[in-house]
A and B are shown apart, each in its own frame.
Chain A
Amino acid sequence: GEDVEQSLFLSVREGDSSVINCTYTDSSSTYLYWYKQEPGAGLQLLTYIFSNMDMKQDQRLTVLLNKKDKHLSLRIADTQTGDSAIYFCAEKLRRAGGSYIPTFGRGTSLIVHP
């Protein structure tokens, strides 16, 4: 199928690390993305990883990619209350018409409490 799967909720304490997991569908996906959506807003690209990489670090964010299992994770170090949002995993899928269209999961709602 064409479903990118994510767990729906994650609750952490401020200062702890958060790990959001995703399973994608197509082993030939070239780029995989993490987007953040705050209430009432559109999606903001947080970070991405190219499929020939296993890991990418960007300040507090660490992305891990396991191509064999088609598993992607996002780790947020020292999670802050401002990190509370919905996080979407997305992959670029090649569609029948030849275009690559990002396909999104349902999103993981991250709740950070003091």
Chain B
Amino acid sequence: DAGVTQSPTHLIKTRGQQVTLRCSPKSGHDTVSWYQQALGQGPQFIFQYYEEEERQRGNFPDRFSGHQFPNYSSELNVNALLLGDSALYLCASSQTGWEKTNEKLFFGSGTQLSVL
């Protein structure tokens, strides 16, 4: 079992560009959540995908969008990049119903995005 995998591990972009980050959930998991972790901060919830739809969203602008595919993998897209978007982007997977139980939330190692 490969666990949660994210790609790429590192990425450098310039202001105004667009970026796509990818995540494959742990085998058996159908729900994917994305978090942004700025330097020295805790992870901040961006959104969660289940059944190919955005189920819940945090306080992030529309420049942040996502997608979930039939195989449960997911993408995070960020348009019109700003310097402040530089952060570690973490993907976490779980099984639906996790919120009501104590099924573990598994995190990937993240994609480090630097915006210059």
Q: By the criterion CB–CB under 8 Å, are B43 and A101 in contact?
A: no
- The total of chain A residues at the interface (CB under 8 A) is 24
Given known pairs A48-B102, A104-B42, A104-B43, the reply for A95 and B109 (CB within 8 Å) is: no
* CB contacts between A and B, total, < 8 Å: 53
A102 neighbours in B (Cβ, 8 Å):
45, 105
Bound-state Cα–Cα, A31 to B90, Å: 21
Given known pairs A45-B104, A106-B40, the reply for A101 and B45 (CB within 8 Å) is: yes
Chain B interface size, under 10 / 10 to 19 / 20 to 34 / 35 or more: 20 to 34
* Residues in A lying within 8 Å of B, measured CB to CB: 4, 31, 35, 40-45, 48, 50, 88, 92, 95, 97, 99-107
* Residues in B lying within 8 Å of A, measured CB to CB: 4, 33, 40-45, 48, 55-58, 90, 92, 99-100, 102, 104-110
